[in-house]
Structure 1
Amino acid sequence: MLEQVLIAVYLIVALLLIGFVLIQQGKGADMGASFGAGGSNTVFGSSGSGNFMTKTTAVLATCFFVISLLLGTIAANKNEKVDEFDNLEMPAVEIPVDSEIPNVTTELPAASDVPAPTVTEEETKEEDVPN
């Protein structure tokens, strides 16, 4: 249960972190603000959005790494399913063999019982004639 909650929070924090990083302005954007182009930054106060965005990004990044470590610890401490081959303490159950099964053996004929192939005179004449 805790693992599913942490994964959901982890995904939300990751998406928020990506969004805040993409929204932030670069360092070169302050140059345009000094020439009068920075009038839209007054929503966050006179200092602009720099402090708010930077602090929020730092908090989200810290949460992201802490949740990553927690999920890694939970995954490492999970009990793995034991392979049945490794547990050889209990003997295998022996299934009794039904003794009423007939013993079927086939007797092969002896070599003297098999008749030799017969060759006719016509076959020998055809083989001796070269083509």
Structure 2
Amino acid sequence: MKLATPYPAAAGALLCAVLAAGCVSTRSAMPGSTEDRARAVTVRIDNRHTSASSLTIYLVPEGSRDHIRLGTVRLAELREFKFGRQLRTTRWQLLARETGGQEFRSDLFVLQPGDRVEWRIGRRSVWVNPGDAGG
């Protein structure tokens, strides 16, 4: 199990740069065909943070400034998102951003088509369950 770490926003300029980069990739790709659905990555977010009324969740590829916006999770809400784009990299990080507040980042983890990622933010944990995309 890999742990996520609270990460307060460092400076306004850095936050603006991150937000601008995040606007590049804000659509979540919904898989269409049966094969696409089988290869889609499922990201399940459990927001148990005690003070964040809502968190915007992003999937961030290693070495990239682009953020793929998955959606928003309210306090005490459990949500599931599907990511159906072709995985060009295998190492990813989850980012949860409170409006005007803290950021939470997971450690880097490996993703393959069909995997399921679960992140409990209040417990600061993230884990990946391998999918069965290979057959």
Is the radius of gyration larger for structure 1 or structure 2?
Answer: 1
TM-score, normalisation: structure 1: 0.26
Higher helix share: 1
Q: Which structure has more RCO (C-alpha within 8 Å, separation ≥ 6)?
A: 2
Higher strand share: 2
